[in-house]
Amino acid sequence: MNFAKAPAPSLPLVLCLVGLLGCVQSAEEIARTDQRLAGLRIDTIDGLRIVCLQAQPAGCPSTTGHPSIINETDRTTYVATEDKGASASLFRAGNGTTNQRAYVFASSYTNNRNIEVIVNAAENPDLNQARQKAVALSTELGRMPACVLTQVKEVKIQNSAGLGLDTGGVAAAAVSATSSIYIFEDFFNRSRQSRMAEEVLLHELAHLLFDNPTSGYATFAYKNAVVTDGVYVSRYAAGVRAVSPLQGDREDVAESFVAYFGAKFRSERVGAFFANSVRSAIPSRIAYFERFCPTA
């Protein structure tokens, strides 16, 4: 019996030298990327190509958030909030943290998930008001896909200005070491007004899901996907990357995940331009995200 000789494995198109050199595309891969990007709206930052997710005459958006990706019409898995009493908790302040009095709540969800919501009581001395804030946020969290809620343990609500914290207008932040999301409610409320609060949460929760050695920006598989795609969909992430490659990669995974979620699960709401641009721009990242978050 003759056995056909197995074909020699083709050389990888992407040379990914993990370390200082990072990853580079081969000439063949660059040509493929150019072909894939033909017809898309392209911007550049510091030599990095960005696919804009809005058509002209709108400006090329900074982030991948779109107010229709998740909104108040989506069902929430949130069930109830239980008072856990007053305690002390660390909040962001200045360049570090400060211990402050806090009201602790435990919110439950239909999938047997519980997330602690900790409200700064020094800023919110009225318990009922603090509980209302916890309930509002818990309702928004319940609209998030189950896959991104697996890593979050606690959400802290504080006012950034009151604690001398300069977030540069950032509405929220993720701290992977403690599986925490910080909500800076002065800016987060602005996101609510522009109907972007859920997208901010999705971005921060994506940080928690993808800020670890086995799933996320630091893995060979994700780095390989970024290089194979050869392009970014977030001017914000590309801008951060130009200054700090590691932090830029971290922002890229969160920003690209929001774009993925919008294009895959909300294509009729974000519109054809957004959805088609994402699909054409980042097919390798999409394939990566589908492994971790295949359903909405």
240 binds Zn ion (CB under 5 A): no
Q: CB nearest Zn ion: which residue?
A: 254
Nearer to Zn ion, 78 or 182 (CB): 182
Between residues 14 and 258, which has the closer beta carbon with respect to Zn ion?
A: 258
CB of 207 to Zn ion, least distance (A): 6
Q: Of 105 and 210, which has the nearer Cβ to Zn ion? A: 210
Interaction between residue 37 and Zn ion (CB under 5 A): no
Q: Quote the DSSP letter at residue 147.
A: G
Residue position matching structure tokens 């641009």: 277
Q: Which amino acid is at 268?
A: E
Q: Does 254 bind Zn ion (CB under 5 A)?
A: yes
Write down the least CB distance from residue 88 to Zn ion, Å: 27
Tell me how far, at minimum, the Cβ of 229 lies from Zn ion, in Å: 19
Whole-angstrom distance, CA of residue 105 vs CA of residue 107: 6
Q: Which one of 84-92, 110-118, 143-151, 245-253 is the stretch in contact with Zn ion (CB under 5 A)?
A: 245-253
CA–CA separation, 281 and 266 (whole Å): 17
β-pair partners for 24 = 15
> How many angstroms separate the CA atoms of 156 and 163, rounded?
14
Residue 229 or 251: the one with the smaller Cβ distance to Zn ion is 251
Do you know the residue count of the chain? 296
Closest CB to Zn ion among 183 and 254?
A: 254
Return phi, psi of residue 43, to 5°. -125, 165
Find, among 159, 140, 229, the residue nearest to 255 by Cα: 229
Positions touching Zn ion (CB under 5 A) are 251, 254
